[in-house]
Amino acid sequence: MSTSSSPFGSSSVRAAGSGFAASGRFTRPAQLDQALVDHIAGGADPQKLSEVSHATAASLLDRVHHTQDPQVVHRVLTLVEHEGVDLVAELWSEADPESLPGVLWRLYMLRTWMHRNRESISRLWRVGEPVAGASSAIAGVDQAPTADDIARTADSILSGAFVGDFAVALERASAFCSVISAGLLAEARRRQERAAEVGEPTVAGASRHFVKTAKSLHGTATDFRKGATLWREGRLE
């Protein structure tokens, strides 16, 4: 996902590695063990980086699961904002989507995208919810959410992954992406009809962008759904 000039937002979580890798300080999240991330400082080889990627993801999840301290939960929830996206991307963005670090990366980027585009996403939800079937109920969002509702949902999905049922959090994330994908497709159809009526190529171009984003979000929804299945089977590592 990345922000866009479009009134409806962005590309998808699958593109988050480039879309959110903003320049800035390369910092160590205080919630991660120093020994695990020291390997990154000088540039680790791909195998070592993969090992660190999986180790940090498991360490972070385990640490929060074993604490009741709300401050720890909040620091982990806001890891990207307070520590910068660079190190998180370095650790997790290249991980297989059917792995724990790959899933956590997508969860963090989903939350970031939802916060940055909360108003446009709330409009897309209203468009997509009527045609999304059971997905809206699974995601736990009202039929007509406000921008603040979208931000709260983003927080509850990510925090639920750490302090609740991890598989349920992934299923909520998957359902949310599915509804927004449906909204984008519906908006694309509306714009295609308008383009045919008025003959505006810019309208047709926006429609194609929405379709592309919708397909990418659908892929992200699939990643989350597979992750939930693997977690329940004890195979998400």
Using an 8 Å Cβ cutoff, are 96 and 14 in contact? no
Using an 8 Å Cβ cutoff, are 148 and 118 in contact? yes
pTM above 0.95, yes or no: no
Q: Which of 133, 50, 131 is nearest to 96 (CA)?
A: 50
Using an 8 Å Cβ cutoff, are 104 and 60 in contact? yes
DSSP secondary structure code for residue 98 in this structure: T
Q: Which residues contact 109 (CB under 8 A, 6 or more apart)?
A: 1, 13, 16, 20
197/195 Cα distance (integer angstroms):
5
Q: What was the pLDDT predicted at 71?
A: 87
122/59 Cα distance (integer angstroms):
34
Q: What was the pLDDT predicted at 12?
A: 45
Q: What was the pLDDT predicted at 125?
A: 96
Which tokens hold the place of 4? 């866009």
Cα 196 versus chain centre, distance: 34
Q: What was the pLDDT predicted at 45?
A: 66
Residues in the chain with pLDDT values less than 70: 1-45, 199-204
